[in-house]
Structure formats: C-alpha cells, structure tokens
Structure 1
Amino acid sequence: MLEKFSEQDRDVVKFLREQASTLLTKTYDTDYNLLRWAQGYNHNADEALVHLTRHLKFRKYYDLDNIHERKSDPILEKYFPLGLVGKDNKLLVVECAGRIDLQGILLAVQLNTFLTQRFRFQERMLSEINRMERENGSQSSVTYILDLEGLKLDSKLLNVVTGPYRILWASVYSNYPEWIDEMLVVNAPSFIAMLWKAIAPLLPERTRNKVKIFSGSSDWKAEVLKRCTPESVPVHWGGTKVDKNGDTKCREILNIPNDLIPKTLYWVPTPEAPKFSDLTKIVIVSGGNHVVTFRVPFSKDPISIAINRFCERTYSMAVYHSDDDGAIDLDLHQMNDWAPDFDYPGMPTVDRVIAPIPGGGIVKVKFGNEQAWFRSLPVYYRISFVNACDQPIAYECIAPTAA
C-alpha cells in the first residue's frame, strides 16, 4: 500500500513502524493504521510516535487484539447499543443517544465494563475498516450518526455529558485517531447550543471540525445521503435499507433502547467490589499525584493486579512495573508504564479491574489529579494481586507517596 501514499505519508509510516516494532502486533500493523496516527498529529513523526506507543501499550494492557472474545455486557447491549449498519468503503454507525438512559447506565455498570464494551465496538469497527482497506486498497473511515431524538433536558444531563460521556469520547479518540470522517448530530433539540457550548472547548479542534449539527426540522436526511449510498442507510435515516422483517429502523441489527434501566439492575456492592467507604481513601492536591508501591514475588505462573477504584470526578491512573528490586527508588518515568497514563471518568459505582502484569518485581500504581486547577480530589482504592484462578497471592505494600 505504501506506494500509493505521498512521500510524506511513506516517511512517517516507515518511521512509526521501525520505532514501534517491538510493540506492534501482526493484527494491528497495517499501513493505514499507522497512517491514521500520522494524520492525527499533522505528520509530526515524534509526536505521533509518543501517542502511538502509549496506545500500543494500552492495547496490550486491555488485550484489544482479542477483546472480541470477551462476553458482551447484557445491560449495555440492551440499553447502550451501538449499530454498524452500512458499508461503502465507509462504515455507517448509528448511535441513538437520545434514547439512552445515561444516568441509569452510570448507576448500573462499572467503569471497566463500560470501557470494555466500548472498546469491543471500536475494535469491531477497526476490523471492518481494515478489511475494506485490504479489499479496496484505499483508506476507509466512519460516518457516525448521533441521533438525539428523545433527548430530554434534566438537571443531571449536563454533568453526565461533560463528565463521563466526554471522558469516554476522549479516550476513544486518543486511541483511535482519524477513524471518524464526519459525525452527523441529527434531531438535535433546542437546548443543543447549551450542551455544545459546554462540550466544544473540551474537544480537540480536529474533532470539533468533524461535527455537523442538524435540528429535527432541518433536512438532515439529505445530508446523510450526500455521504452514504441509500442502500447502506436505514429508511428511518433517509436511505432505502430495511432489515429482513421490513423494519425501516433495521432493529434486527440496531437495538434501539426505549426504556429506562430498571433499578433492580443498578449496581450493588459485592465482596469483589465493596462500597467505597470500605476502600482506602487518599486526597490528591490539584495538579498532584499519589503513588502506591508494591513488591510482588516472582512466579512461573501468571500474575494479575486487581484494582478497586472509586472517584466522583475525573482522575488519571497508570501502572508501572520493573523486575529490578532497586526500582523502589526509581522515578516513574524510569520504569515500564505497563498500563499507560489515561484519564478516567468519575462514576457512582465502585470499579474492579483485573489485568495481567509482566511478572513479579516492583509495581507502582499512580493516581493523579492533573486536570484540577484548585480542587483537591478524594480517590478510594483497594489493590491486591491474584493468580490465574483469581486467588490472592502474597505481596508487600510499601509506604505510598504523594507528589
């Protein structure tokens, strides 16, 4: 494929492939996947490499190459569905966000489950994009319809949209640059200006420029058809596509939520994820971080870190590893950032995430409050280490430090 690229494209793609060779997997290593990183950072090779490297470590931490093998969460499958409905060297994706019980999602689903479900969908899209690129020999992308029909203004909406929902999209875009060609926000309510005013400054300029907003009274269906072939678009959104049942919304392949999540499905504490008051509390000053250090014994068997975490506002987290016992005294940048530093949204549920670590040695977990200018941030956590059977193993916790 490289012969079809511009000289600038070829140079950056070759640079990224050479510099990231130890992290690239056979699944992910395609010319167009690397090209997207070059495009996302205006062909600044060094900057693109920094973000690509962070993503490749994130891919390994979350095992994104194999995330399709994980079970789909039934609550999110029913109440927060995303639909991939059309192919024309572009994917058409429909999200009926106006009918999603966003507040109910936050009360019913733990953060790691929420992220895993979203990344499963992102990898499904990426797989389809890569397949079309192999077949057509040209770059593919996504036309994203965000349908706000049914969205109601309430006191909690702004906090959800500017908090967890924004952080989710930031995480998606920082790990999947240039995957969206355009996002068409349709059936936008009259209060969309207020929401957009709150959200827009928080988005990268390249992302903002891809968003087009249409009210319910505008001829947005014509705009959809300017970008997609009619046979790829369900009738409800302006095309000619129906499912096997003749449904104009193609609900055979698009699960469109209409109900609030029953309170019986709301998250409740368990021994594996107890109420937050049972966790260790730390308070991180604005712009600061808090590091907890562990000495984990070496073992021939796989070892995973088990983290419970809870916070009401955005926080950052990263996991660092070294098999050298002297790493106790090392700064974080001198260690392997096994789980690279990313922001995570505050959620009303206590999360539990289990992820493999490279092995025994020194492990440092960093929680951060880098986004805050003035406010301190309470974070609650519990960290342990388990074997392949999720059984606890012995470890030593060394005094935590704050910075």
Structure 2
Amino acid sequence: MGTVSQDAINQFKALMDQVEEPLKRTYQTVHQGYQAETLARFLKAREWNVTKAHKMLLDCLNWRVHNEIDNILMKPIVPTDLYRAVRDSHLIGMSGYSREGLPVFAHGVGLSTYDKASVHYYMQSHIQINEYRDRIVLPTASKKYGRPITTGVKVLDMSGLKLSALNQIKMVTLISTIDDLNYPEKTHTYYIVNAPYVFSACWKVVKPLLQERTRKKIQVLSGNGRDELLKIMDYASLPHFCKREGSGSSRHSGYANDNCFSLDHPFHQQLYNYVKQKSLESEPSQPIKQGSFHVDLPEPAVEGMEIAKTIESQMHNFEKRNGVSGPLNGLKINDDSDHRTTHCP
C-alpha cells in the first residue's frame, strides 16, 4: 500500500475515532477488528477522497442504527416454507472457498424471479446473507488463513435469462444500491458464466457506464466457466452450475447438498439455524413470530438508474429485431466461437 493510501487511512481513522454511541457500537460490528481494511474499502468506493468516504461511512452507520441492522441476524424468516420460497426465487448461495481463502458466492441471475414473497422478505434475506458473511464467514476465514480476508468472489450464472427479466430490474437495482452504499468493495472479482447473446449485447453498452474499478473486477468466461474457475478454486468449491461438462444450467441440481441455491445446502442450513438460535437467545420465552424485517429502501443512485434504463432499452431493441420473448440461453456470446475467455480491461 502506497504512502498516499496509508495517509488517507490514517486521516480517516482519526475521524472515526471521534464517533460516539450508538454509531461506535455498530461501527465495531462492521469492521470486526479489521479497521484498516474496512476504511480502505470505503476509501476505494470514493476514489480515496477522505471527506467523501467519511460521509459515506457515517451514512452507512446511521442507516444501520435506524434500521437495527445489528439485530437482523436475530430475525428469522418463518415459517421454513416461506424462506424456502425466497431461496427458490432469489438464487444465491455460497459454494466454497478459492485457494486464497476467499468465499465463493454464486448468484443465479438468469433464473431468479423474486415472485414468491414481498420485497421486504427479499431484502431481509439478502442483508442477512451479507451480515452472516461479514460477521461469521470472513472472520472465520481470516483466522484460518492467518491474514485479513475481507472480500469474496462472485460467480454470476446467466442461464435462462429472459426478456421478462426487465420486471426484476427494480429489485436488482434496490439490492445493488444497498450493497453499494453499505457494503462497498466486498467483491474481489465477478465471474459471469453461461451468458446468452442478449447479455453480450447489453454488456457492450453497459460496460462504458461502469466505473473503472468495477470494470476491472468483471470477467466474462466461456460457457460455464469451469476450466477458468478451476485455476482459482478446487472442484468441490465450484458452484453446481459450473460442474457440468458443457455450458448450461438449471434451477435445481440433482443433489440438494450440491445445489448451493437450495435451503438444503449446508451454507443455508448453517445460516438459517444460526439466525433461529440467535432469535431464541434474544427472546427465549417468546415464540418466533412471522413477519418481515422492514428496512428503508434506498433511492437508486443516478448511475444505477442509467444502467437499468440502458439494459431495458437494449433488451427491448433486441426483442424488436429478433422477435424473441422466451429464454435466451440457447444463444451464445460471439466470443465463445473460439472458446477463449473474454476478460474485461
């Protein structure tokens, strides 16, 4: 880390040392003992401008206090069938670790529907996964590997992407905004796999709209990305949709324990049991009640809205040109013709 970066972290730390309760308590929950790494994440998100990063972190801490985020891991989504419905329609899970110890999170972008529960349940579930990652998964990995591990990798499965995905852009934008504002720079690399042609068409126009630091993190892999991903992780840590010999995926795997989206997967079982246990510890004499944990939904950033509108426009144009309204997974990215990996600059 350069001198300029270290100076910025030192200035930022001096400002945060002045924070008082209740922000101080939730700040400790955020950094989990890795204060320098946390400050660096917020500085990166604001181009190393200490003043802007300080405001961003204070806004995040106030959001956490106002919405009682520190308590969200004590609020299970019940009954289990409701949470299973959330898992079946917001496909996300953790499949393992990279060889460097970074947790591998998988996202079924193409097949997620967000149509089985209210927006509040989806936000509650997503934030719980974020908090469990930051409070349990990453600190455990840091202790195991003997060094700070504060980021992970994401594998985004575009299988089954349809033009009807336009209906989900609002939900995806809300989730992205929550992450951008309150969990910045938590992803080391994004790997995109099983991408249909429509994604390629959208990517060409969306890519220039992204900030450079984001573009550098994104790699579009050929087919299901298996060969490239095996360079950074063992076979056991591959998401289930990357383990097939050819490209393509499905919502469900043949084995529940292998499908990292399923509630039956060990990661989701551990998370769900952890939340239920914390709930019983906090209110041992009270029955667990059904009800979503409401979080203030943010106004999407201008950049996010511009990207969403661009995607919508491109997909409509694609539909007009091709008369396509069903799944687009059968159409390959042009770059796949020579089986090379397409890396973003």
* Pair 1:150 & 2:135 matched: no
Partner of 1:15: 14
**Deviation, structure 1 residue 42:** 3.1
Q: Counterpart of 1:183 in 2: which secondary structure?
A: strand
Map of 1:296-375 to 2, 5 A cutoff?
A: 342-343=298-299
1:70 corresponds to which of 75, 89, 93: 75
Partner of 2:104: 92
2:42 corresponds to which of 37, 40, 52: 37
**Deviation, structure 1 residue 148:** 1.3
Higher helix share: 2
**Deviation, structure 1 residue 129:** 1.6
1:119 corresponds to which of 127, 136, 141: 127
Name the amino acid aligned to 1:94: A
2:109–2:156: 8 Å Cα contact kept in structure 1?
yes
Task: Describe the shift of the 1:206–1:237 C-alpha distance in structure 2 as closer, same or farther (beyond 3 A).
Answer: same
Q: In the aligned structure 1, how far is the partner of 2:65 from the partner of 2:213?
A: 27
**Deviation, structure 1 residue 38:** 2.3
Partner of 1:79: 89
Q: In the aligned structure 1, how far is the partner of 2:20 from the partner of 2:215?
A: 32
Q: Counterpart of 1:206 in 2: which secondary structure?
A: helix
Task: Describe the shift of the 1:91–1:12 C-alpha distance in structure 2 as closer, same or farther (beyond 3 A).
Answer: farther
2:240–2:259: 8 Å Cα contact kept in structure 1?
no
The TM-score, its normalising length taken from structure 2, stands at: 0.61
The TM-score, its normalising length taken from structure 1, stands at: 0.53
Map of 1:215-226 to 2, 5 A cutoff?
A: 215-216=222-223, 220-226=225-231
Q: In the aligned structure 2, how far is the partner of 1:77 from the partner of 1:235?
A: 15
Q: Counterpart of 1:99 in 2: which secondary structure?
A: coil
CA RMSD of aligned residues (A): 3.6
- Whichever of the two has the greater Rg, that structure is 1
Task: Describe the shift of the 1:234–1:253 C-alpha distance in structure 2 as closer, same or farther (beyond 3 A).
Answer: closer
1:99–1:149: 8 Å Cα contact kept in structure 2?
yes
Q: Deviations over 1:207-245 (max 9, x none)?
A: 2331212342xx722221233244433565259xxxxxx
Name the amino acid aligned to 2:89: Y
Map of 1:50-69 to 2, 5 A cutoff?
A: 50-69=55-74
Higher strand share: 1
- Extract unaligned runs of 5+ from structure 2: 245-252, 265-293, 307-345
Name the amino acid aligned to 1:158: L
1:212 corresponds to which of 203, 211, 219: 219
Partner of 2:140: 131
Q: In the aligned structure 1, how far is the partner of 2:16 from the partner of 2:233?
A: 33
Task: Describe the shift of the 1:69–1:207 C-alpha distance in structure 2 as closer, same or farther (beyond 3 A).
Answer: same
Partner of 1:188: 195
Q: Deviations over 1:302-358 (max 9, x none)?
A: xxxxxxx9xxxxxxxx9xxxxxxxxxxxxxxxxxxxx7x93169xxxxxxxxxxxxx
**Deviation, structure 1 residue 71:** 1.7
Higher alpha-carbon deviation: 226-235 or 45-54:
226-235
**Deviation, structure 1 residue 16:** 4.5
2:221–2:228: 8 Å Cα contact kept in structure 1?
no
The percent of aligned pairs where both chains have the same amino acid is 20
- Extract unaligned runs of 5+ from structure 1: 240-245, 258-308, 310-317, 319-338, 346-370, 373-403
Name the amino acid aligned to 1:212: Q
Task: Describe the shift of the 1:7–1:205 C-alpha distance in structure 2 as closer, same or farther (beyond 3 A).
Answer: closer
Structure number with greater CO (CA < 8 Å, separation at least 6) is 2
Task: Describe the shift of the 1:202–1:160 C-alpha distance in structure 2 as closer, same or farther (beyond 3 A).
Answer: farther
Q: Counterpart of 2:220 in 1: which secondary structure?
A: strand
**Deviation, structure 1 residue 183:** 0.7
Aligned positions, number:
249
